[in-house]
Amino acid sequence: MGFLKDIKRLTEPYYIVNIILSLSYLISKRVTFVCNILFPGAECELDMRESEILFFLLIVVMIRTRKSGSVTMINYLSSSFVYTKGANLILWFYADARMGIVYGVIFVLLALLLPEPTISGPENIIYFRASGLDEELERNKKVTWLVVFYTAWNPSCVNFAPVYSRLSCEYALENLKFGKVDIGRFPDVARKYRISDSATSKQLPTLILFKEGKEVARRPAIDSKGKVMKFFFSEDNVKAAFDLNNLYNECKSNPLKTPKKKKYITQGDDNGDVSSNHLKDE
């Protein structure tokens, strides 16, 4: 079922266009009639330098998609598009600077006008703005928060989004809540929580557990030397890393106490006149 769902998603414009862009140079060189139009008089074969670039690209894509935690065909494609399009940009400039400029313009425009579609589905998540998280942590310290810090453009964050949505639906309680902060929009939050939002960052996404308003755990963790420790953001790994089953049971057995409502009771004498009012807990 998962494979069929991925095939269906490949029919969306985002994936069709990006697959074409990722294969554009290879097609232009290997398809004879396209090659004759774009490169008249040239050999329709890849030279040594072009083959080296493509081989290097293959290695980079394999390493990066593995690090990003890609486990499905769609995840692999989403993680690889930025690298394949970057390699194609280099190849087009290598062949002809004018074609490289055209490809670069198309690259940028599509990134702005055709973002990756998000997976819609149920979730129980609160989205915070710049100071919203700090205010919420201070407002009620009896609430435990699991918060993901992400950027909209990072493939690992995109891959983790549906996993986090499912976890929020499964474990959210009145005193166990799930939140998200887009540190691409609010870089001050990233600095406060010591999260790098650079293009080469190994901290995207970062998942932090807050108890009594204070951080008690995060993934990926940072060791004593300041090195980011590798973490695979699968559903099972997140459950194990934050002990979500026990955390859920603990929060469920200690619900938030709500103030008791007071009920006014009026008493009257035998003549029907009200003599006094009393407060009684409901």
> Using an 8 Å Cβ cutoff, are 205 and 178 in contact?
no
- Return d(Cα 196, Cα 93) in angstroms, integer: 31
- Return d(Cα 60, Cα 207) in angstroms, integer: 26
Most confident of 45-59, 84-98, 247-261: 84-98
Determine the angle formed by the axes of helices 155-171 and 73-95, rounding to 10 degrees: 160
CATH superfamily of 125-253: Glutaredoxin (3.40.30.10)
pLDDT at 172 over 90: yes
pLDDT at 126 over 90: yes
- State pTM to two decimals: 0.62
Q: What is the pLDDT of residue 198?
A: 86
- Return d(Cα 250, Cα 252) in angstroms, integer: 5
What the block records as the tokens of 186 is: 């609010």
Q: What mean pLDDT do residues 30-38 have?
A: 87
Q: What is the pLDDT of residue 1?
A: 45
Q: What is the pLDDT of residue 24?
A: 92
Q: Where are the domains of the chain?
A: 2-113, 125-253
Instruction: Categorize the per-residue pLDDT at 170 as very low, low, confident or very high, splitting at 50, 70 and 90.
Output: very high
- Return d(Cα 209, Cα 218) in angstroms, integer: 6
DSSP annotation string for 219-253: ES-B-TTSPBPP----HHHHHHHTTHHHHHHHHHH
pLDDT at 263 over 60: no
For residue 252, count other CB atoms closer than 10 A to its CB: 13
Summarised one tens digit per residue, pLDDT across range 183-241 is 999 999 999 999 998 877 889 999 999 999 999 999 999 888 889 998 988 889 999 99
Summarised one tens digit per residue, pLDDT across range 93-108 is 988 899 999 999 998 8
CB-hemisphere CA count at 13 Å for 173?
18
